[in-house]
Amino acid sequence: MEKIIEMQIIEAVRSILTGRVNEVLGNWQTLIPLFEFSDYQNMTAVVPVVTLSSCERTEKERIIKLDAYSLTIAFTVPETQDSELFCYAYTTAVGKALGENPTFGGIVDKVSVSGKKYIPPKKAHCGQGWEVVITLRITKEGIDYAG
């Protein structure tokens, strides 16, 4: 059975986060918690949630068979004196990794960061972390759902 494109996209994002993004973060002089997909939550790892939130087709995109997906990567950065710096480091590392592999190895036609949102804790030093939401726009040409 052929793998569904949506699952391929989610798997590619997860792989890039735990692979190339973690490599980039590991090469910096500051010790930054790495991405990990597990139930583990501590100061030494960040667990992102990868959500494919929509697939849009304008009339023109329908005619040329182009799907435009919106995917979010959301995570909480534990509150420390460097939390804000870490937030910027994560988005920079994600941007760098996607710039090096803008097609997920040929799975899609193009991936780009379409938004970055940084949400500080509502109250400082209350144990609540910073939240980061990175939005990706992913396009894939040639998908035809008609039988």
Mean pLDDT of 6-33: 95
In angstroms, rounded to a whole number, what is the distance separating the alpha carbons of residues 72 and 10? 10
Task: Give which of 123, 129, 119 is closest to 82, Cα–Cα.
Answer: 129
Tokens, residue 15: 């792989």
pLDDT one-digit tens code per residue, 85-95: 999 999 999 99
Dihedral pair phi/psi, residue 139, rounded to 5°: -115, 145
Q: Of 12-16, 64-68, 75-79, where does mean pLDDT reach its minimum?
A: 64-68
pLDDT reading at 139 higher than 60 = yes
Q: Which pLDDT score, from 0 to 100, does residue 146 have?
A: 46
Q: Which pLDDT score, from 0 to 100, does residue 147 have?
A: 42
In a domain, 40, yes or no: yes
> In terms of residue numbers, what domain contains 42?
5-141
Whether the model clears a pTM of 0.85, i.e. scores above it, the answer is: yes
| Nearest-10 Cα torsion for 57, 58, 61, 66 | -20
In a domain, 50, yes or no: yes
Split into its structural domains, the chain has a count of 1
In angstroms, rounded to a whole number, what is the distance separating the alpha carbons of residues 82 and 99? 26
First to last CA, the chain: 17
pLDDT reading at 36 higher than 80 = yes
> At 74, which CATH number?
3.30.70.1700
In a domain, 9, yes or no: yes
Q: Which pLDDT score, from 0 to 100, does residue 61 have?
A: 63
In a domain, 147, yes or no: no
In a domain, 27, yes or no: yes
In a domain, 146, yes or no: no
pLDDT reading at 60 higher than 60 = yes
In a domain, 33, yes or no: yes
In a domain, 59, yes or no: yes
Answer positive or negative: Cα dihedral of 19, 24, 26, 27: positive
